[in-house]
Structure 1
Amino acid sequence: MKKIILNKGKDKAAWQLHPWVFSGAIKSTVDHPKNGDIVAVFNNEDEFIAYGMYNAKSRVAVRLLEWDPSKEINEQWWRARVAKAVNKRLALLNEENDTLRLIFAEADFLPGLIADKYADYISIQVHAAGTESVKDIIVDELVQLLHPKGIYERSDLKSREYEGLPDSNGKRYGEVPPEFVEIVENGIHYQVNIVEGQKSGFYCDQRENRAITARYAKDKKVLDCFCYSGGFTLNAFRQGAQSVTSVDSSALAIETLKSNVQKNGFAADKHSAVQSDVNKYLRELGEQGEKFDLIVLDPPKYAPSRSTLEKASRAYKDLNRRGLLLLNSGGILATFSCSGAMDIETFKQVIAWAALDAGKEIQYIYQFCQPEDHPVRASFPEGEYLKGLLVRVV
């Protein structure tokens, strides 16, 4: 097998089961490995560490797969890994939830692979050259395990460019999903656009957080910012919200949200759907003297890397300051960050600064995290990206 030799002192993370070997850690290669090849990784003393997928074009030059030297990375290895990831999630499926993440990349020892189940369809994303080479095997194993109506690929990620891969979108098995696939989450029905929607179609990582936040919505005036297809909005209505205003910059998101409100039989006269830049809309609400009892702030990723964290912190602070200014005394703010570069302690400090600038005294009453189908592997803390806080204005 083709080999990778690491520089002296650059093998510690790999021994500790971290799945990434950066290009700067590599001393030499043996037998000219090509991008996507399976390689054996050794330390400077020629001791075997692990098998992995090589890619000279990527900053992450090797994505480690297996630390047992007796194992062979073949078709059966890939099938077994896919089956293990899927089978441990099946207990999460029931009549109230038919949508979840089946495979979460490095967290499931399957680097470069995301798979989400939306009712009878599966959406996959592949963002590593080595995983791309076994995509057909992965698709076939998912078919054998779950018998979906169709599997659709949405591999149009920036990370593929770094791997030297072109975008790859389209049907990989069975039927092309219809324009809207109906799913159920927390007993609520949604229409999901797998083919053209954001990411792989729906943000199932907020499933539990939506239900927790909705506990505070009964008889309350709610503002749901960055609402997308309405997860927090619909959960709030299900728990008896007095009214909900939902805001998103996407016209498709707003139209989908309106359809979801109607599909679930919630009163349209209690709902206001606004297509607008959220920060601009929050300023306008402040100028109008509007107040709310519960506000949800679930923005896109402001800090894609540590180099952008300082700028992102200012953006998070300003956004949350505007939100806090709109809350009644005793009001609740559910605020989130999906930036992996921002840890929860930093996020708490940012919210504290926002409260100080808003002249509000606050309490942290709950800390949100990722659900069970988005696990965080102990040896790969980078997989922990979603965090949030439930904040009460005193």
Structure 2
Amino acid sequence: MKRVKVKQAYVKNMKQQNPLILEEAIEGAQKLQEGEIIALYTQQGEFLAQAYTGRQNKGMGWVLTWKQTDTINQAFFKQKLLTAMNKRRSYYQDEETTAFRMFNGEGDGIGGLIIDYFDGYYVMQWYSEGIYAFKNWVIQVFDELGDYQGIYEKKRFDTKGQYVEDDDFVKGVRGAFPLIVKENGMNYAVYLNDGAMVGIFLDQRDVRKALRDKYAKEKHVLNTFSYTGAFSVAAALGGADKTTSVDLAKRSKHKTIEQFSINDIDFEQQDIIVMDVFDYFKYAKRKQLRFDVVVLDPPSFARSKKRTFRTAKDYPELIENAIDLLEKNGVIIASTNTASFGMKKFKDMILRGFQAKQKQYTILEEFSLPGDFAVDKHFKQGDYLKVAVLQVKD
């Protein structure tokens, strides 16, 4: 194991057990190879942690253990994975939800590795070449258990930090796609072999359930940045009079039609629109369209031909646009997955949007990550999801 020194200015942060290792914190960091197991020490020779090197947009590696006596080997990885599985035993046994996060990176003790479960299939997401070097150790655990249909992977570590296009199948039985999974009794079609995104974001499970059970009945629901229409499906199954799904991506339309169809919902009774969301806001205002519920779940960053959207800068404008389209006492489900700020700042953005329209509101409830998305309490960025359900006061 290579012994490396942490610069004095970063020792305090590391002693607070922040698992992310920054490039600038390590002496001679540029000389370290991907996938090296390293022991971190202070300048004075005090042991701090054992880690691995794996460069991704967040940093250059992750702490694996704060104990000097631990041995980083296949047995160590096996213990982390089995512990994560055992914590999620109730999810494996839930017949109404057959898709969930089985391993959540640093929240389960190995940063840079995400594993999702889809009704017998596992999808492993590798966020650096460094963590990918331990692939065989991880696969061996699943082979010893033997309880899976197949394994797919997503490599997210090319030189530009993008997804590596490749055959995603690893081993087992290739899936027949779409694979239909359940979430709180709702059906969703997923494609584990079709690029970086499989068709549903599992972190919004609790929010979709709330929309279905509490906010959709006899309402007209506008779902912006709708992707494959998962929120629209939840709203329709919750008794919405109508849903309108808006997304710029052309394939969002046939993907959304598919999601409606596998839930026996007549998609022709729903509006599915391929358009830039901000252009749709203008269109809806001109046509004097009104909605009872508006779902705002944009990507952190998006670029179209006309504009660039950044959550940290542009979310108040989203709120303003949603207010313009709301019926009396309407509801906004405001969401962001941006990790660079917390709920307090997000609420400030929401407030700015309402103040610009001279409107008041009540926060009906808030959501963060569901229970299967384990979070390291020393790494706040890992708790990235922030959702507030807002009711306008008229």
- Note whether the superposition's TM-score is higher than 0.5: yes
CA distance in structure 2 between the partners assigned to 1:342 and 1:262 by the alignment: 37
Q: Is residue 247–residue 273 contact of structure 2 (8 Å, CA) maintained in 1?
A: yes
1:195 lines up with 2:197 in the alignment:
no
- Distance apart, 1:28 and its partner CA: 4.9
Q: Is residue 300–residue 310 contact of structure 2 (8 Å, CA) maintained in 1?
A: no
Equivalent residue number for residue 291 of structure 1: 290
Q: Is residue 154–residue 163 contact of structure 2 (8 Å, CA) maintained in 1?
A: no
Equivalent residue number for residue 306 of structure 1: none
Specify every segment of 5 or more residues in structure 2 that has no aligned partner in the other structure, as ranges: 303-308
- Distance apart, 1:336 and its partner CA: 0.5
CA distance in structure 1 between the partners assigned to 2:293 and 2:181 by the alignment: 26
CA distance in structure 1 between the partners assigned to 2:240 and 2:221 by the alignment: 7
Equivalent residue number for residue 24 of structure 1: 24
The within-5 A match list for 1:86-235 is 86-93=85-92, 94-145=94-145, 147-155=147-155, 157=156, 159-161=157-159, 169-196=167-194, 198-214=196-212, 215-235=214-234
What's the TM-score, normalizing by structure 2?
0.91
Q: Is residue 183–residue 190 contact of structure 1 (8 Å, CA) maintained in 2?
A: yes
Cα displacement string for residues 186-245 of structure 1 (whole angstroms, at most 9, x for unaligned residues): 101111122225535420000011111221111111111122222211111121111111
Q: Is residue 154–residue 195 contact of structure 1 (8 Å, CA) maintained in 2?
A: no
CA distance in structure 1 between the partners assigned to 2:282 and 2:55 by the alignment: 47
- Distance apart, 1:113 and its partner CA: 0.4
Specify every segment of 5 or more residues in structure 1 that has no aligned partner in the other structure, as ranges: 304-309
Equivalent residue number for residue 305 of structure 2: none
Equivalent residue number for residue 280 of structure 2: 281
Residue 249 to residue 178, structure 1, CA distance change in 2 (3 Å) = farther
CA distance in structure 2 between the partners assigned to 1:246 and 1:166 by the alignment: 29
CA distance in structure 2 between the partners assigned to 1:197 and 1:243 by the alignment: 31
Cα displacement string for residues 149-206 of structure 1 (whole angstroms, at most 9, x for unaligned residues): 1111111x3x543789966542111133333111111101111122225535420000
Equivalent residue number for residue 306 of structure 2: none
Cα displacement string for residues 261-280 of structure 1 (whole angstroms, at most 9, x for unaligned residues): 12211233431111111111
Equivalent residue letter for 1:64: V
- Which secondary structure state, in structure 1, belongs to the residue aligned with residue 313 of structure 2? helix
Equivalent residue letter for 1:132: Y
Q: Is residue 103–residue 113 contact of structure 1 (8 Å, CA) maintained in 2?
A: yes
Identity of aligned residues (%): 26
CA distance in structure 1 between the partners assigned to 2:350 and 2:78 by the alignment: 44
- Distance apart, 1:285 and its partner CA: 0.5
Cα displacement string for residues 17-44 of structure 1 (whole angstroms, at most 9, x for unaligned residues): 2112222222357xx7532110111111
1:252 lines up with 2:251 in the alignment:
yes
- Which secondary structure state, in structure 2, belongs to the residue aligned with residue 196 of structure 1? coil
Q: Is residue 89–residue 102 contact of structure 1 (8 Å, CA) maintained in 2?
A: yes
CA distance in structure 2 between the partners assigned to 1:229 and 1:57 by the alignment: 28
Cα displacement string for residues 253-305 of structure 1 (whole angstroms, at most 9, x for unaligned residues): 321211221221123343111111111112110111000111111111139xx
CA distance in structure 2 between the partners assigned to 1:377 and 1:74 by the alignment: 22
Residue 164 to residue 372, structure 1, CA distance change in 2 (3 Å) = closer
CA distance in structure 2 between the partners assigned to 1:145 and 1:201 by the alignment: 27
Equivalent residue number for residue 266 of structure 1: 265
What's the TM-score, normalizing by structure 1?
0.91
Equivalent residue letter for 1:240: G
> How many residues of Structure 1 are paired with residues of Structure 2 in the alignment?
386
Equivalent residue number for residue 319 of structure 1: 318
Q: CA RMSD in A?
A: 2.5
CA distance in structure 1 between the partners assigned to 2:297 and 2:4 by the alignment: 42
Q: Is residue 334–residue 390 contact of structure 1 (8 Å, CA) maintained in 2?
A: yes
Equivalent residue number for residue 342 of structure 1: 341
Per mean C-alpha deviation after superposition, the further-off stretch among 57-66 and 282-291 is 57-66
Equivalent residue letter for 1:92: Y
CA distance in structure 2 between the partners assigned to 1:266 and 1:162 by the alignment: 41
